[in-house]
């Protein structure tokens, strides 16, 4: 840090790096963590491990479940019956939430997930939720005007499709199995998984279309 010494302003060597004032919530979390560590409830290492686990998860994990369900009807049934067991079957740790419920879109039904009370989300399969998922406008409008929200994501449902919004208020975590796009009959499972976007597993979008042949 010797190249740091030519600054005019003095600062404590032990101060956090480039922290600024930060939002009040961040200061509160730091104070809580410090207290919990001081009281021996948790160790700093536990917090670090938790963060490492969370950021190690990505929507690619959930996409593997969806792609397998598209190609294997027996697996699809197992995923619908018990999401946690189906994740473990593919070597994926489904995380701490006690129950993972997979819901399937069809020609007649489209599902969309929200947590109006906070930000419940299948983090073990999708990683940290996007900021918009935690925002007040999404959380309130996803239940009161879900088709308006879908339109803002560029998603329009075909006539006659029933829209089902799931508000995950308790111990359940919901994962949407989107419809398999047309024109994907010849694709391998890993190619299918690449089409399964995070937003399609939240239910605000459809999966990506396959690239045109020869492109």
Q: Mind telling me the catalytic residues?
A: 115, 118-120
Contacts of 173 (CB under 8 A, 6+ apart): 83, 95, 97, 99, 100, 101, 120, 121, 122, 124
170 binds other proteins (CB under 8 A): yes
113 to 132: interface string for other proteins, x by CB under 8 A = ---xx---------------
Q: Where are the beta strands (DSSP E) in 97-184?
A: 99-104, 109-114, 162-167, 172-177
**Looking at beta carbons only, is 134 or 164 nearer to other proteins?**
164
Residue number with CB closer to other proteins (22 or 98): 98
Nearer to other proteins, 162 or 191 (CB): 162
**139/166 Cα distance (integer angstroms):** 11
Beta bridge partners of 17: none
- Minimum gap (Å) between residue 169 Cβ and other proteins: 5
Residues numbered 143 to 162 that lie near other proteins (CB under 8 A) are 143-148, 162
Interface residue with other proteins among 60, 89, 167, 194 (CB under 8 A) is 167
Kindly tell me which of 178 and 210 has the beta carbon lying closer to other proteins: 178
CB of 197 to other proteins, least distance (A): 23
Per-residue CA distances from 177 to 110, 133, 183 (Å): 10, 18, 18
Q: Does 36 bind other proteins (CB under 8 A)?
A: no
The residue to which tokens 């010849």 are assigned: 186
Q: Is 32 in the site for other proteins (CB under 8 A)?
A: no
- The residues with which 173 forms a beta bridge, in sequence order, are 100
* Residues in CB range of 198: below 8 A, 6 or more apart: 59, 62, 126, 127, 130
* 212 alpha carbon, distance to own chain's centre: 28
Instruction: In angstroms, give the least distance from the CB of 142 to other proteins.
Output: 10
Owner of token pair 């419809």? 179
- Is 165 a residue that touches other proteins (CB under 8 A)? yes
- With binding defined as CB under 8 A, does residue 179 bind other proteins? no
Q: Does 19 bind other proteins (CB under 8 A)?
A: no
């Amino acid at each position: 840090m010797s190249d740091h010494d030519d600054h005019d302003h003095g600062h404590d060597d032990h101060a956090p790096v480039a922290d600024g004032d930060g939002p009040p919530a961040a200061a509160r979390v730091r104070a809580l963590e410090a207290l919990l560590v001081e009281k021996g409830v948790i160790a700093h290492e536990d917090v670090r491990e938790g963060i490492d686990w969370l950021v190690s998860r990505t929507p690619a994990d959930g996409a593997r479940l969806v792609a397998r369900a598209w190609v294997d009807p027996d697996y699809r049934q197992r995923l619908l019956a018990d999401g946690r067991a189906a994740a473990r079957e593919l070597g994926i740790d489904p995380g701490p939430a006690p129950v993972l419920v997979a819901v399937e879109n069809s020609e007649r039904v489209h599902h969309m997930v929200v947590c109006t009370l906070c930000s419940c989300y299948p983090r073990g399969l999708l990683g940290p939720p996007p900021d918009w998922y935690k925002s007040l406008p999404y959380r309130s409008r996803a239940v009161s005007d879900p088709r308006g929200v879908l339109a803002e994501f560029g998603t329009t449902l075909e006539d006659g499709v029933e829209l089902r919004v799931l508000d995950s208020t308790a111990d359940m975590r919901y994962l949407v199995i989107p419809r398999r796009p047309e024109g994907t009959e010849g694709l391998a499972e890993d190619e299918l998984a690449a089409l399964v976007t995070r937003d399609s597993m939240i239910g605000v979008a459809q999966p990506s279309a396959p690239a045109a042949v020869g492109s």
